[in-house]
Structure 1
Amino acid sequence: MKKLLILSMLFLFAFVAYQSFLFIKGDPDSAEQVEYEVVNAENLPTELHPILADKVESLKEKTAEKDITILITDDYRSFEEQEKLYDKGRKTSGKVVTYTEGGESYHNYGLAVDFALQLENGNVIWDTEYDGNRNGKSDWFEVADIAKDLGFQWGGDWRGFKDYPHLQMDFGLTINDLQGGKYLKYPS
């Protein structure tokens, strides 16, 4: 019995070590390999990262295949624009729309977008229950599922504040990484 327990423990250790190796190394067949660079404040992005921009176009195409039209309502946002949004409901009138100050949002680094649904008549809605393609599923949640299949993280999955229009790709970078100057290299 003792030998079986020791063998089981060794097997478990080997399995965990192997899985850790795969996690650290990454699987080149299943994920995009990305490189990072250190940039100074003068070289911070001023637009959506090209990888993210391509994924947004794929999202638009895939949602259109399901008879859903989306509109990107926000993408890259400067620190100053972020501060103005943060001030809403705090220093200026209106409802609180964000809990992140300038420099604390993935939008500020070109790694996030917000979307809404666009109706045939051109009206834009943020109705998470709307089923315009009449397939019995919320168009909003269909968009979120397609986005997640493309590699986006969806703000509707967040534990605390649910940010249903928000989609981001952080590529393993934290806000602290980005604030410290670490940034995703642009494709050459």
Structure 2
Amino acid sequence: MDCLANIKFLDALDQPINDLAHQLWVGSSLISDYITLPIGESVWIKRPIGTIIDVKVKSFTSGEYEPKVKIQLIGEKTTFIIRSPKVLLKGMSLSAKDMATGKYIRSTYIVAEGDYLSRIADDNQTTVAELMHLNNLKSDIDIHPQQILKLPVRKAESSTIASNGKSQVTESSQQEKINIIVVQQKDTLPLIAKLTGNSVNEIKKLNGLASDKLNQNQKLKVYARKEVFTIAKTKNENKKPFTPPIVKQDASKNKKNAPTAKVESFVPTSSKVSQRNEKSIAKLHPQVQDKIRKFINDVYTKHQVQLVIVQDYRTYTQQDALYAKGRTASGSVVTNARGGQSNHNFALAVDVFPLWEDGKLHMDVKSDQKNIKILKKIAPIGKGIGLEWGGDWKSIIDNPHFQLKTGKTMAQLRELTESAGGDPLKVKYDIQ
């Protein structure tokens, strides 16, 4: 079993230490040469449980990397806290040679399986309307896996008007830090991209790579970014007993100029509600949010199945666009509900899909049989906490669909929403 781990560096006042040059070693192998993010975090690493990580910090005076602490990986996903007794609110002072910088304009996004436009917009600091306009999309569901979407230029970038009146984008003045990582034996380009928050194309362009082939101990440049991940467990992993992390402390030889690191605690990630799921849950009615969280966690606890929310709140306009599929728009019929005729329109419903053993969503037609089998197995958990399951419907069976039982008809839901000024989140339901 592997552990997905990170290290967070804090100073004596619990403030994150930014721009701290440090290295992570496993035995004689360098696995990361990194500079902490503004939140004080190192790069995410994935190694077998029990692996000893030797943390070395760059000295102010000598410029050498000095051993500070050793930690032993434990748990499925863990953040280790390393605390310095010094107050370093402004982070470490680094010379220009310590940090490589590069100019980069992120202009495209490759759609992944299970992606939806509102999530892509949120993650890229833009709006659904802007993405639809830039990419000539007919609706917010007019996307497919591997589709390349244009992204708007960042606000930090400026534009000049050419003599012919057309807008031309100038190069961004904003620069991203570049970190160096060392390729390990089982590393692949997609895995490194996921763990560093980069895209495969970005890494290839940054390093002048013509293919996805990597060599062990090869050094790669990557943009310094933060990414959050969820990793699916296998059934046997949940049976292993929990033990606290083993910590070995090495004191600094130069306490005046470099912090003495101390591993104080670790923060295990036990909840199976990922950041992506939380963004969807935040759009739901307050009375359904905790039920959906409990549903996702209980499903994982009982069946070791990680659910991902792929649809949440939809406006009437979005619902009408979905209804048009297979009727006035291309595609197959997916719903009989027009705008105002679905619990999604009142922020009461979600559609979920399970992650497979490979840690990915499979939402194509050939994967239906396995997805339905999994959803049928976990449906009783949702029904047991007050959710209605679309797999029990008689007209169009909707296995991924779970909604709050309110006891209201669609007409009553529309009326209640109108009475609340058109905001479905302000409606109060008499439910337990």
| TM more than 0.5 | yes
CA distance in 2, matches of 1:143, 1:174: 26
Residue equivalent to 2:313: 76
Distance 2:300 2:398 in 1: 23
TM-score of the superposed pair, with normalisation by structure 1: 0.66
1:62 corresponds to which residue? 298
Find the partner of 1:130 among 366, 370, 375: 370
Contact 1:79 1:103 in 2 (8 A): yes
Decide whether the 8 Å contact of 1:106 with 1:170 is kept in 2.
Answer: no
Residue of structure 2 in register with 1:47 after alignment: 283
Tell whether the 8 Å contact from 1:152 to 1:168 is kept in structure 2 after alignment.
yes
Matched, 1:110 2:353: no
Q: Deviations over 1:139-178 (max 9, x none)?
A: 2112211110111111111122211111111311111101
Report 1:80-99 matches (<5 A).
80-99=317-336
Contact 1:86 1:101 in 2 (8 A): yes
CA separation of 1:155 and 1:185: change in aligned 2, threshold 3 A: same
Residue 54 of structure 1: SS of its match in structure 2? helix
Q: 1:128 to 1:145 in 2, by over 3 A?
A: farther
Question: Which structure 2 residue ranges, 5 or more long, are not aligned?
Answer: 1-281, 418-423
Aligned to 1:175: 410
Amino acid at match of 1:157: D
Preserved contact between residue 309 and residue 351 of structure 2 (Cα < 8 Å)? yes
Asked if the contact 2:406–2:429 (Cα under 8 Å) also holds between the matched residues in 1, the reply is: no
The 8 Å contact of residues 49 and 186 in structure 1, kept in 2 or not, is answered as no
* Structure 2 residue aligned with 1:21: none
Shift of 1:122: 3.0
Deviations 1:79-136 (A, max 9, x none): 11101101111111000111000111110001111111112433213556538xxxxx
Matched-pair identity in % = 36
1:149 maps onto 2:149 in alignment: no
Residue 56 of structure 1 aligns to which amino acid in structure 2? I
Structure 1 or 2: larger strand share? Answer: 2
**Which letter maps to 2:428?**
K
Contact 2:386–2:405 (CA under 8 A) maintained in structure 1: no
User: Quick check: 1:112–1:167 contact (8 Å CA) kept in 2?
Assistant: yes
Task: Give me the whole-angstrom Cα distance separating, in 1, the residues matched to 2:287 and 2:345.
Answer: 16
* Runs of 4+ with >6 A deviation: none
**For residues 123 and 82 of structure 1, what CA distance do their matches in structure 2 show?**
27
Alignment RMSD: 2.4
How many equivalent residue pairs? 137
Distance 1:151-1:128 versus aligned 2 partners, 3 A rule: farther
What is the letter of the counterpart of residue 298 of structure 2?
Answer: K
Q: Counterpart amino acid of 2:386?
A: G
Q: Could you tell me the TM-score, scaled by structure 2's length? A: 0.30
CA offset at residue 50 of structure 1?
Answer: 1.5
Give the letter for the 1:165 counterpart. P
Q: Which has the larger radius of gyration?
A: 2
Question: Secondary structure of 1:125's match?
Answer: coil
Unmatched 5+ stretches in structure 1: 1-45, 132-137
140-149 vs 115-124, greater mean Cα deviation: 115-124
Which structure ranks higher in relative contact order (CA pairs < 8 Å, sequence separation ≥ 6)? Answer: 1
Q: Does 1:185 align with 2:428?
A: yes
Amino acid at match of 2:286: P
Partner AA of 1:115 in structure 2: V
